[in-house]
Amino acid sequence: MKHSSDISELKKMQRASLVKMFVIVMIVVVFAVFGSVAWFTMNREVEGAGVQMTASDVEFSFKFPGSDEGKWINQYRSLSNQAGIWLVDDKKYLDNGSEIDKEHEGLEPGDSGILEFRVEPNGQSDTISVDLCFSLRGIVKPEKQYNQDGTLKDVNKSLEEITDTTLMNYVGSHIMLFTGINGDGKYTGLLQNNNQLQRYIRNKLYSKTDTEYTKLYWVWPMHLSNIISKDASELIYAANERDTVIQYIVEHKSGFFKGIETEDSKLKTDLLNVDHYGAYSILFDKADLDIGNKVQYVILGMSASTSSAPDSE
Amino acid sequence: MQKTTTKNKNIVQRYSSLTKIEKIQLFVAIGFTLASIIVAPVFAWFSFQTKVETMSYVNDPPTLSLASGHQDSIQFFQLKNIDVKRLNDGSYYQDFVFSVETEKALEYDLQLCHTTNIPFTYELWRAKEDVSGTVSYIVQEGSDIGKTIQYTLLTGNLTDGDITISQDITLTSLNPQTISFTNENEPTISRDIGCEEVLESKYSRKNYEQGDNYNQFVEPLYSVARHIQTNEKTFDGSEERDYFVLRVKWNVKNEAQGNEYWYYGFNDKETDIVYVSVKESRDSVSNADNEGN
């Protein structure tokens, strides 16, 4: 009797051990699968948050002509989520820093500027091909609070990142990025957002010997007419890119126009012919108003990864 | 000491008492924990190496501002030297053009405030430039200086695509004067403060039996037109102004007697002050959500 009870006890222990072993193995398998997927995907392209690991050591570093960390560096340093600093100078930055009036020293519709950078290969090779990803994130503008005498209360609140995707869609659409500028002062080469509001420059070649900086042109158009006009002088970009830009506006209509319900083909026809300008302009301005009222800071990020198809440019 | 030794012995004993499989499980768990601890800063390091950011403040939307007709600035909006004398008795008016620079605002409130030394009444109309318009404005500055621009008064609705914007303006009195009618053809306007009867009974004085004495007990009258929607946007944004006409009205009775003198326009009366102010409507963004496209 005792012998059989010992056997059943032993069997129970063995079963328990097997279960534990099985659980451990499953956890290992899950980790291995996720790790492999992460490895393969992160090795090729940057998607999602833009954090990226390469297969080997980091093969490049960013270089900037300026050495200024920017006017808002203290506010940036208070964020829990930070990256490296895009160094700027007093001529090239992401705000309207030339205005002396404090009320206008930040970003607003009608502003534009340049940011510069280059990528320097670190490794043995003299050249490197990188994919550059640009994305915007925003910080919530706290609600204005007033004292009893009607004066504005000084609210000290920690910076909170915007999670409202509709609002960030407005920001990502209204702040436009271009890669060049022509002799007439019109932008060329619109960088187009993907569905995750990321904009790419792919297979950009940099070499150790070429020290020229890449220019990124940012602009927040004042009026809808500045991006759809048939009059080339009114457009902020080169007129021969009008079809492309209008197509882009249609594809991202919910970012350009607040509360738009117009169907795509009708919208495209209206924009190309500049029909019902007043109505669309109001929706365009509504989106701008939302940005001005609800966004306190915007953060433009650039992340780089070695190209999957080198030297293809 | 003994307790610690006993405790240590327990840990050692416990480890020794583990089966082979349990020891393997323990090492795997420790390994995963260490791996997690290492991975987090590695990710952070890669992020710093491969990503850079720059930050900027976003300005608040601009406030509305008032301006004059055409493209003139506000100092040219003047109501001075209104000549109220007319040969014949009756009702008369004079129109003055001003504008609101709307920039990105979509809805705003216009408030009118005026003193009542002179019995003017005021009306507010939306207007737009029109060669056949009945209201004239002489340009005061810029390349068109001296030119006369005509404005027409707007009523009803303005439609553009699927958006309809009302042009009618309703001025709501915030502290109305009392109006009574002795007969339907001739309303009698009586004021709580400022009219001669009240002054005589309350303060034992009269202002306008004859002469030009200011009425120190006068209370300004306030009225407001709310939720005026920004009109059709001009195409290139160069004329982002909504135009208005302030119509100043008065009655003339050349042989006014006694207290009647108060109710009619005479050039020897004291000056009045008129304020016009504009402010973005408080819930304009959420109200605008109700507009379809």
List, for residues A166-217, the tens digit of each pLDDT value. 999 999 999 999 999 999 999 999 999 999 999 999 999 999 998 899 999 9
Q: Tell which wins on pLDDT, B15 or A40.
A: B15
The candidate with the shortest Cα–Cα distance to A134, out of B54, B58, B56, is: B54
A chain contacts of residue B105, beta-carbon cutoff 8 Å: 289
Are residues B96 and B28 both part of a single domain?
no
Which helix (H) or strand (E) segment is A62 a member of?
strand A60-63
Answer yes or no: is B60 within a domain.
no
For residue A259, give the nearest of B19, B46, B289 by CB distance.
B289
For residue A289, give the nearest of B19, B50, B285 by CB distance.
B285
Please report, as a single letter, which amino acid is at residue A6. D
Q: What local confidence, expressed as pLDDT, does residue B11 receive?
A: 79
Give percent of chain A above pLDDT 90.
Answer: 51
At residue B200, does pLDDT exceed 90?
no
- ipTM for the predicted complex comes to 0.78
Answer yes or no: is B291 within a domain.
no
Mark yes or no for CB contact B106/A298 under 8 Å.
Answer: no
Q: What local confidence, expressed as pLDDT, does residue B186 receive?
A: 60
Are residues B242 and B209 both part of a single domain?
yes
Are residues B41 and B116 both part of a single domain?
no
Mark yes or no for CB contact A107/B56 under 8 Å.
Answer: yes
- The region of weakest confidence among A44-53, A165-174, B250-259 is A44-53
Angle formed at CA B12 by CA B9 and CA B16, multiple of 5 degrees: 130
Q: Which domain covers residue B22, as residue numbers? A: 2-50
Looking at chain A, which residue has its C-alpha nearest residue B289? A259
Are residues B81 and B43 both part of a single domain?
no
Answer yes or no: is B167 within a domain.
yes
Answer yes or no: is B57 within a domain.
no
Coil, strand, or helix at residue A205?
strand
> Helix crossing, A242-251 with A264-273: angle to 10°?
150
Answer yes or no: is B100 within a domain.
yes
Are residues B45 and B80 both part of a single domain?
no
Are residues B220 and B106 both part of a single domain?
yes
Mark yes or no for CB contact B58/A117 under 8 Å.
Answer: no
Chain B interface disruption, residue of A216, A285, A297, most B CBs within 10 A: A285
At residue A43, does pLDDT exceed 80?
no
Mark yes or no for CB contact B55/A73 under 8 Å.
Answer: yes
Are residues B212 and B273 both part of a single domain?
yes
Q: Tell which wins on pLDDT, B249 or B11.
A: B249
> Whole-prediction pTM value?
0.60
For residue A287, what are its two tokens? 């989106």
Are residues B75 and B45 both part of a single domain?
no
Are residues B72 and B186 both part of a single domain?
yes
pLDDT tens digits, B62-91 = 668 899 999 898 888 988 878 888 999 999
Contact A220, A210 (CB under 8 A): no
Answer yes or no: is B288 within a domain.
no
Instruction: Read off the pLDDT of each residue in B52-67 and give the average, rounded to a whole number.
Output: 87
pLDDT class of A55 with cuts at 50, 70, 90: very low
At residue B213, does pLDDT exceed 80?
no
pLDDT class of B178 with cuts at 50, 70, 90: low
SS (H, E, C) chain B: CHHHHHHHHHHHHHHHHCCHHHHHHHHHHHHHHHHHHHHHHHHHHHHHHHEEEEEEEECCCCCCEEEECCCCCHHHCCCCCCCCCCCCCEEEEEEEEEEEECCCCCEEEEEEEECCCCCCEEEEEEEEECCCCCEEEECCCCCCCCCEEEEEEECCEEEECCEEEECCCCCEECCCCEEEEEECCEEEEECCCCCHHHHHHHHCCCCCCCCCCCCCCCCCEEEEEEEEECCCCCCCCCCCEEEEEEEEEEEECCCCCHHHHHHCCCCCCCCCCEEEEEEECCCHHHHHCCCCC
Instruction: Read off the pLDDT of each residue in A17-39 and give the average, rounded to a whole number.
Output: 74
At residue B135, does pLDDT exceed 50?
yes
pLDDT tens digits, B98-116 = 999 887 777 888 988 888 7
Answer yes or no: is B59 within a domain.
no
What's the domain count of chain B?
2
Are residues B45 and B84 both part of a single domain?
no
- The region of weakest confidence among A22-31, A286-295, B283-292 is B283-292
- Name the burial class of residue B78, with classes exposed (0-12), middle (13-18) and buried (19+) by CB atoms within 10 angstroms of its CB: exposed
Q: What local confidence, expressed as pLDDT, does residue B95 receive?
A: 95
CA distances A95 to A180, A181, B281, Å, are: 19, 19, 28
Answer yes or no: is B290 within a domain.
no
Chain A interface disruption, residue of B24, B52, B239, most A CBs within 10 A: B52
pLDDT tens digits, A80-116 = 889 999 999 877 778 755 555 555 578 988 889 999 9
Are residues B22 and B140 both part of a single domain?
no
Q: How far apart are CA A86 and CA A69, in angstroms?
A: 7
At residue B171, does pLDDT exceed 80?
yes
Mark yes or no for CB contact B106/A285 under 8 Å.
Answer: yes
Q: How far apart are CA A304 and CA B227, in angstroms?
A: 49
pLDDT class of B7 with cuts at 50, 70, 90: low
Looking at chain B, which residue has its C-alpha nearest residue A143? B60
CA of A135 to nearest chain B CA: how many angstroms apart? 9
Chain B interface disruption, residue of A18, A53, A284, most B CBs within 10 A: A53
Looking at chain A, which residue has its C-alpha nearest residue B288? A286
Mark yes or no for CB contact A52/B51 under 8 Å.
Answer: yes
Chain A interface disruption, residue of B24, B58, B163, most A CBs within 10 A: B58
A chain contacts of residue B283, beta-carbon cutoff 8 Å: none
- The region of weakest confidence among A32-46, A64-78, A121-135, A271-285 is A32-46
Are residues B44 and B101 both part of a single domain?
no
At residue A77, does pLDDT exceed 80?
yes
Question: Residue A131 gets which letter from DSSP?
Answer: E
